[in-house]
Amino acid sequence: MKIYENTGSKDTRSGFGDGLTELGKKNENVVALCADLTGSLKMNAFADNHPERFFQVGIAEANMMGIAAGMTIGGKIPFTGTFANFSTGRVYDQIRQSIAYSDKNVKICASHSGLTLGEDGATHQILEDIGLMKMLPGMTVINTCDYNQTKAATLAIAEHHGPVYLRFGRPKVANFTPENGTFEIGKAVMLQEGTDVTIIATGHLVWEALEAAKTLNEKGISAEVINIHTIKPLDEAAIIASAKKTGCVVTAEEHNYLGGLGESVARTLAMHHPTAQEFVATQDTFGESGTPAQLLEKYGLNAENIALKAEKVISRK
Amino acid sequence: MADTQHLKDLVTQVRRDIVRQVHAVSSGHPGGSLGCTEFLVTLYNEVMDHDPSFNMDGINEDLFFLSNGHISPVFYSVLARAGYFPVSELSTFRKLNTRLQGHPTTHEGLPGVRIASGSLGQGMSVAIGAAQVKKLNGDDKTVFTLHGDGELQEGQIWEAAMYAAANKVDNLISTIDVNGQQIDGSTDQVLALGDLRNKFEAFGWDVITVHKGNDVDAIITGMKEAMDLTRKGKPVCILLHTEMGNGIDFMMGSHAWHGIAPNDEQLAEALRQNPETLGDY
């Protein structure tokens, strides 16, 4: 079994901030917009280094999305920054018409996604954003798992022409993917090969999936772990191949089970290789206040529950 | 004043294009289109420096964004007659597989359109982005927008208005089509807009009023005044007072023709009032 080491916990938003700082230096067409959350999004260094390319729009997210769409006209690559809730639900129609339908090269970068935003509670903890964004034609949807991967994704999306939703979070989480690794949009990452069950995870739950695989291994269960950082376009081939090998699947995400990664996986399997599947996700509820760890435990978004679901799905084979 | 007969001839022809497009598919928005015909004809043929060979980035060109996308019939006619695409394509308006969608879009690749519009209130934000990039690129051209007055009920307009003034986006001229009408009735009946001059001035804009918004000469004078105000630290707003349905007597003075098409007899009467000048499509 492959052992992944946490090289020091870091927040994924800092991966975005550091990626943006690097982009600012190497690509003069990159511009950044923020709706009064520069510190939270870790955009300060970009703002300090390139004041002429940084646009503080105030608490006006709808206007920010429109301005970003307009900035693509003339060749710029705008990166917008605010919380996931205000990056999606609040401005859905602006994204739909002015960005997605208008084919604009805007990178919508969303921090504080999911329950792990923590104490601020349900008003800020969007659990529907993956669904909202993946339904938009032409939108690429990415949910990164750690600092290194978020930084790599930030660099990669600047090279990709078209609208992108990049989702990351607030808390410090294990950092275990390679430093300065390559990021291939739409390509699943095989983290652990196994034969009894496939665990397909995205975002913060990828580390939890690896922890679950360790527990399962101690029980003599061989779990395959796949990191799906790109929910759309989905790496269907990787999912189908693994399902054919193990015969059952657990999906894990910090999102509602309606509309998330799990549903995309289920659709893929239903069409190509019907397979038993269990969902580790929130069950059509809003979140609440609490520490990230407390919330993940209460809503079953942790290694323990992934392992339980794995055993359950194996029994359904 | 220079001779503007060619613009007036074009206005008459564009009016014919508008009612013929809408009549052909029994759908579309003739009222606001007719009200803004003189403005758009003047903007594209007298004011803007633009290239009909069309490049999305529009470097070193003036740019126009239509925010009230439902007046697509006038926009399409003015673009076609400026050379962006063949006028014959106007016959495809709102038909299956057309580039001339019900509301303008970039999605089908129609030259001259740089943003989709139709869901109201978004165009000023887009124009601000394009205007700020012009400054970043060292491009000294101007960005124009057009909005309906009813559209000002959308909150995003005021987010954009605040931002444009605070950031001295002074290469932007936003025109408001003040026709006092919207779908459910007059703007006063639906949601009164209050004093628009005071509102925009309070937001930090320079404001020009064109009282005769269906008079080509008055529009030219107003636009010159507006151009003179650009690059002086403030965005510029034009309050363009127009008559919905202008040029076709039975469509004027009411909101009734906001979104309905003329029947055969009404079309014939509309065309009789606007004789062919430059050739129908």
Q: Which value does ipTM take for this structure? A: 0.97
CATH of residue B203's domain is 3.40.50.970
**Does A65 sit within 8 Å of B136, measured CB to CB?**
no
pLDDT in tens, B105-136: 999 999 999 999 999 999 999 999 999 999 99
CA-nearest of B163, B184, B181, B180 to B172 is B163
| Number of domains chain B is built from | 1
**Structure tokens given for B121:** 């209130």
* Residues carrying CATH 3.40.50.970, chain A: 11-173
Can you give the pLDDT of all 317 residues of chain A as single tens digits? 899 999 999 999 999 999 999 999 999 999 999 999 999 999 999 999 999 999 999 999 999 999 999 999 999 999 999 999 999 999 999 999 999 999 999 999 999 999 999 999 999 999 999 999 999 999 999 999 999 999 999 999 999 999 999 999 999 999 999 999 999 999 999 999 999 999 999 999 999 999 999 999 999 999 999 999 999 999 999 999 999 999 999 999 999 999 999 999 999 999 999 999 999 999 999 999 999 999 999 999 999 999 999 999 999 99
Contact B106 A97 (CB under 8 A): no
Give buried/exposed letters for B217-250 (b at 16+ CB in 10 A, else e).
ebbbebbeebeebbeeebbbbbbbbbbbbbbbee
Q: Would you say residue B279 lies in a domain?
A: no
How far apart are alpha carbons A105 and A99 in whole angstroms?
8
The answer to whether the bond into B111 is cis (omega within 30° of 0) is no
Q: Which residues have CB under 8 Å from B243's CB, separation 6+?
A: B35, B179, B213, B214, B252, B253
Residue B64 domain boundaries? 5-273
Q: What sign does the dihedral A53-A56-A61-A64 (CA atoms) show?
A: negative
Cα distance between residue A240 and residue A237, in whole Å: 5
Instruction: Residue B133: list chain A partners with CB under 8 A.
Output: 31, 70-71, 73-76
**Selected residue of A34, A73, A92 to mutate for chain B interface (largest B Cβ count, 10 A):** A73
**pLDDT confidence tier of residue B1, bands split at 50, 70 and 90:** low
CB contact under 8 A, A74 and B139: yes
Residue A261 is encoded by which pair of tokens? 């990664």
Shortest CA distance to A247 belongs to which of A200, A313, A187, A151?
Answer: A313
Looking at the complex, does the CB of residue B108 fall below 8 Å from at least one CB of chain A? Answer: no
Residue B137 lies in a domain: yes
Chain region(s) in chain A for CATH 3.40.50.920: 189-315
Which sequence positions of A are flagged as catalytic? 61
For residue range A304-316, what is the model confidence (pLDDT) as tens digits? 999 999 999 999 9
The CATH code that applies to domain A189-315 is 3.40.50.920
Q: Are B213 and B240 in contact (CB under 8 A)?
A: yes
What's the first-to-final CA gap in chain B, in angstroms?
31
| Fold of the A11-173 domain | Rossmann fold (3.40.50)
**For B122, which of A76, A78, A94 is closest by C-beta distance?**
A94
Please give the backbone phi and psi of residue B64, each rounded to the nearest 5 degrees, phi first.
Answer: -125, 135
CB-CB contact of A173 with A12 (8 Å)? yes
Note whether residue B269 is domain-resident.
yes
Other CB atoms within a 10 A radius of the CB of residue A90 amount to: 17
- In the predicted model, what is the mean pLDDT of chain A? 98
